Amino acid sequence: MRLDTIHKTVNGKTYTSHLLRHAYRDRGKVRHRTIANLTGYPEAEIAAIRLALEHKGDLTQLASLRENLALKQGLSVGAVFALDAVAKRLGLHDALGHSQEAKRALWQVLTRVIDQGSRLSAVRLAANHAACDVLGLDAFDEDDLVANLDWLHEQQETIENRLFRRRHPDGKAKLFLYDVTSSCLDGCYCLKTDLKDAEATKELVHDR
């Protein structure tokens, strides 16, 4: 007795059937008799029946499978995979390059999105997330990420130019953003004036 899974394509649509069959000989020929059509049953039940048939010679093996089974939490993939896809669409891969230093820099960018923290926290985050597998990173530690900041400093102009050319292929920007400090300094007189003028200005302020 065995469980056969049959795939049949009709008009571009594939249909799957699960048939419980028994093989027998008739006049020297091997024939098959369908005992039950299990099509439509849950996949978990189909898998259980298939497993039982595979171990039908000694069902005690099924009991030992649970004893030898060990569960272990794997690395988290979702966040790194999704953010890496966004980074590719934004052109960060091409801007940074594909060296190990470039990939470490990319990981430092992604960690700021996942969980902002120090360089050490980025190393610890990689221990729980599939950073090395998804990004193709070699093993690294905190010192590697600190040294990576020097690499970023050296490559800053090149990276910025690559990002600019991707955003503005014609080399012409239509929007400029600038930062204005929110701090101010108030005083009684200009420091560029000489001491005599400063004293005079102070007296004028006090008189008023």
Residue for token pair 């560029």: 192
CB 55 within 8 A of CB 2: no
- Domain ranges in the chain are 2-67, 78-167
Burial of 44 (0-12, 13-18, 19+ CB in 10 A): exposed
Run of H or E residues at 19: strand 13-26
DSSP 139: P
- pLDDT tens for 28-86 read 888 878 888 888 888 888 888 887 787 777 766 666 655 666 777 788 899 999 999 99
- pLDDT tens for 78-131 read 999 999 999 999 999 999 999 999 999 999 999 999 988 899 999 999 989 999
Write down the pTM of the prediction: 0.53
CB 149 within 8 A of CB 171: no
